[in-house]
Amino acid sequence: MSKKIGIIGCGTIGKEICRALLSGQVNASLCGVADAMPESLRKATEDFSREFGVTIPVLSTEELIKAADLVVEATSKAAAPAIVEIALAHGRDIILLSAGALLEAYESLSARAAEAGCRIYVPSGALGGLDAVKGAMSGEVYSVTLTTTKPPKGLAGVPYLESKGIDVLALREATEVFAGTAREAVPLFPANINVAAALSMAGVGPDKTLVRIVADPACTRNTHEVRIEGSFGVFTSKCENLPAPFNPRTSTMASFSTIALLRRLTSSLQIGS
């Protein structure tokens, strides 16, 4: 019997994950959708009805969590903590796209999930190389640095940058607009830097993971470069991601990596660490 998947959040990423389930890309069924925004729900269900000829149950967050074997959170850093709490209370596994929501309490939440007999999964998102990061942690890791470069429009309107008087849309050359730790970066850039949260939790932690954010008017892709130095040697990776349609703040790969995780969780063959 295939797993029943519930999707919370019908924005750009959530809808793509729904389409993957409805089109048979994943060996699981879509048992329903939920969203705090009625207009997003209406448009999503209308689109699915037109594309696939099906009517998807629209449920409240708690109803959906009760109905699902596995919940996918595709909302926001602000909304995610309450969703995690409900999932743990009902003993449900959850895929958390808003990785930044875990950063302050991921160790205690992991312990609570273990007590509840369920799991919290964080996709790789728009980042490459997390397998190497986890492998490196078996030895000694000296440093982990993430450099994220985005087109200025992908960083426009960020309150932190505005408070610093940085008008990213006025920049004429590549400019570093932030340098600090992952713990500092994630709350300041909640819609832009979930990858820093995932990287830090997979590796040396949020206080030792260094983050640089660059706005580059010549850049057309959201680019994430990771460099790890440790007792194993040196590892580098670079992902140049196309922005998601209708949302320049995120990458198309964010939905693709979640679909890949769903495939892995519903497959009898596991490849990679």
The separation between the first and the last C-alpha atoms of the chain, rounded to the nearest angstrom, is: 26
Per-residue DSSP letters for 46-60?
A: HHHHHHHS--PPB--
Tell me which of 224, 244, 251, 252 is the catalytic residue.
Answer: 224
For every one of its 273 residues, what pLDDT tens digit does the chain have, with 9 covering 90 and above? Answer: 689 999 999 998 999 999 999 999 999 999 999 999 988 899 999 999 999 999 999 999 999 999 999 999 999 988 999 999 999 999 999 999 999 988 888 889 999 999 999 999 999 988 888 999 999 999 999 999 999 999 999 899 999 999 999 999 999 999 999 999 999 999 999 877 889 999 999 999 999 999 999 999 999 898 999 999 999 999 999 999 887 776 766 778 889 999 999 999 998 888 877
Q: Are 12 and 254 in contact (CB under 8 A)?
A: no
C-alpha atoms less than 13 angstroms from C-alpha of 174 in its C-beta half-sphere: 11
Residue 250 belongs to what H/E stretch? strand 247-251
The closest of 58, 3, 17, 88 to 259, measured between CA atoms, is 17
Q: Are 28 and 2 in contact (CB under 8 A)?
A: yes
C-alpha atoms less than 13 angstroms from C-alpha of 268 in its C-beta half-sphere: 1
Q: Are 17 and 72 in contact (CB under 8 A)?
A: yes
| Distance (Å, whole) CA 73 – CA 125 | 13
Give the pLDDT score at 153. 92
* Residues, the chain: 273
Domains of the chain: 3-122+253-265 (3.40.50.720), 130-241 (3.30.360.10)
| Distance (Å, whole) CA 126 – CA 38 | 28
| Distance (Å, whole) CA 11 – CA 9 | 6
CA distances from 63 to 8, 118, 224 (A): 11, 18, 37
Give the pLDDT score at 246. 66
| Distance (Å, whole) CA 250 – CA 211 | 17
| Distance (Å, whole) CA 206 – CA 195 | 12
State yes or no: is 224 an active-site residue. Answer: yes
Q: Are 97 and 74 in contact (CB under 8 A)?
A: yes
| Distance (Å, whole) CA 240 – CA 119 | 30
